[in-house]
Amino acid sequence: MSLFELKGLRFGYSRGEEVLKGVDLSLRRGAKTVVIGPNGSGKTTLLLHLNGVLRPTRGAVYFKGRQISYDRRSLRELRSAVGFLFQDPDVQVFAGTVFEDVSFGPMNLGLPGPEVERRVQRALSSLGIEELADRPLHFLSFGQKKLVALAGVLAMEPEVLVLDEPTANLDPAHVEVLLEKVEELRSAGCEVIMSTHDVDLAYSWADEVVIFCEGRAMASGDPEAVFSSEELLRAGSLRRPILLECWTALRERGLADGPPPRDVLSFRRRLGL
């Protein structure tokens, strides 16, 4: 059974042209999935359908085999199971202090006070930002706000985490913290789906890559196969990942053999460096 199944998905914003143009896509369980494509391709619009923020004009979205319903109760259950991290944290954080913001979701679930506090403390601690608990949000940096937004999602203890451009505008230190946490969640059984412009991140991290362009899923599959297709790269306005490009060049010169490594450490080991 797929985690998500999108069938004939179409969507257009009011007074605008259609953004999703008949998307048929299966996102499988247990796979680290990346949706990649140029600006304006519809990636964010696509992901916002996964937890019911947007409702399709036509077509349907299925979560774990059941078609998503859009009544209040069904959406509440869906959003408890599928957490969403927006690219811009200012869209997502709004309370006076960090603690108040992270506690908002669990409180809306009607959880008792001690359980809300436990979830908030656990989420903040897991990201190493517990010292920010009493800090006003407007005093935080962009990177700190992004981690606070993620903490708010984690406090809901979702089954699935959907990340829209999670590393955009983050410094390397914050990127490392965020990706480490994502891997911890994966190890604990949480499903993760993300969009990104970063082909190197997609290549090194994903089990499955979806190339999205002009409102359609053009292709999906193994990162090596997808990023080795010049036709798909041109259509998606993408470049080949650096590691794959280097390994291909070395292999053509007889200096390397076998399948290309997916990360820098593996690359160096394979070359004996």
pLDDT per residue as tens digits for the range 121-136: 999 998 889 999 999 9
pLDDT over 70 percentage in the chain? 100
pLDDT at 65 over 90: yes
**pLDDT per residue as tens digits for the range 1-26:** 789 999 999 999 877 788 999 999 99
What integer is the mean pLDDT of 205-221? Answer: 93
Q: In this predicted structure, what is the pLDDT of residue 124?
A: 93
271 against 101, higher pLDDT = 101
Over 90: is that where the pLDDT of 109 sits?
no
Mean pLDDT of 79-108: 92
Using the Cα atoms of residue 14, residue 19, residue 25 and residue 31 in order, give the sign of their dihedral.
Answer: negative
In this predicted structure, the answer to whether residue 57 has a pLDDT above a threshold of 90 is yes
Confidence of residue 32 (pLDDT cuts 50, 70, 90): very high
Nearest to 148 by CA among 92, 192, 194: 92
pTM for the whole thing? 0.90
Choice between 169 and 247, residue whose per-residue pLDDT is larger: 247
Q: Name the pLDDT band for 54 (thresholds 50, 70, 90).
A: very high
Continuous segment of H or E residues that includes residue 79 = helix 72-81
Cα 167 to chain centroid distance, Å, stands at 10
Does residue 38 carry a pLDDT above 90? no
Contact 97, 135 (CB under 8 A): yes
- pLDDT tens, 159-203? 999 999 999 888 888 888 888 888 988 888 899 999 998 999 999
pLDDT band at 221 (very low <50, low <70, confident <90, very high): very high
Write the single-letter amino acid at 122.
R
d(CA 85, CA 108): 18
- Residue 181 has a pLDDT of 87
Q: Where are the alpha helices (DSSP H) in 113-255?
A: 113-126, 142-154, 172-187, 199-205, 223-227, 230-235, 242-252
- 258 confidence band (pLDDT: 50, 70, 90): confident
Predicted pLDDT of residue 171:
86
User: What confidence category does residue 110 fall into, taking pLDDT thresholds of 50, 70 and 90?
Assistant: confident
pLDDT at 70: 95
Domains, the chain, in order of start with CATH, read: 30-36+70-240 (3.40.50.300), 247-273 (no CATH)
Tell me the residue type at 41: S
The residues that bridge with 61 in the sheet, in sequence order, are 6
Q: Give residue 189's Cα distance to chain centre.
A: 15
